[in-house]
Structure formats: structure tokens, C-alpha cells
């Protein structure tokens, strides 16, 4: 019962993560010197994974 739920969650998570990586690359290209943005985005992705996990 829990296996199909996790599969659906991974599929839903993979989509937003891909969208975020695209936005992250744009942010990095604009602000290569600012590493705070990269750390913030990585922490956000971790939070989302923990929340849904």
C-alpha cells in the first residue's frame, strides 16, 4: 500500500525539482558570485523532500 504512494510522490517531486534546477541555473548565471542563493535553493529542496517524505 505504501509503495505506490512513494512512487507517485517521487514522480510529483521530480517535476518541481527539474523546474527549480532550470531556475537555479538562471540565478547562478546571473549571480555567480552570490553563493547564498545556491545554498538557499538546496535547503529548500531538502525541506520539500522531508515534508512530503
pLDDT digits (tens, 9 = 90+) for 1-29: 565 565 656 655 566 655 666 666 666 66
Distance of CA 28 to the CA centre of its chain: 15
pLDDT computed for residue 29 by the predictor:
64
Q: 45: part of which helix (H) or strand (E)?
A: helix 36-52
CB 48 within 8 Å of CB 9: no
C-alpha–C-alpha distance, residues 9 and 22, integer Å: 20
Residue 42 has what pLDDT?
58
Look at phi and psi of residue 51 and say left if phi exceeds 0, alpha if psi is from -120 to 50, else beta.
Answer: alpha
Amino acid at each position: 500500500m505504501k509503495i505506490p504512494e512513494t512512487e507517485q510522490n517521487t514522480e510529483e517531486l521530480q517535476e518541481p525539482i527539474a523546474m527549480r534546477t532550470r531556475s537555479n541555473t538562471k540565478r547562478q548565471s546571473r549571480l555567480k558570485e552570490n553563493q547564498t542563493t545556491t545554498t538557499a535553493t538546496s535547503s529548500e529542496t531538502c525541506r520539500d523532500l522531508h515534508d512530503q517524505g
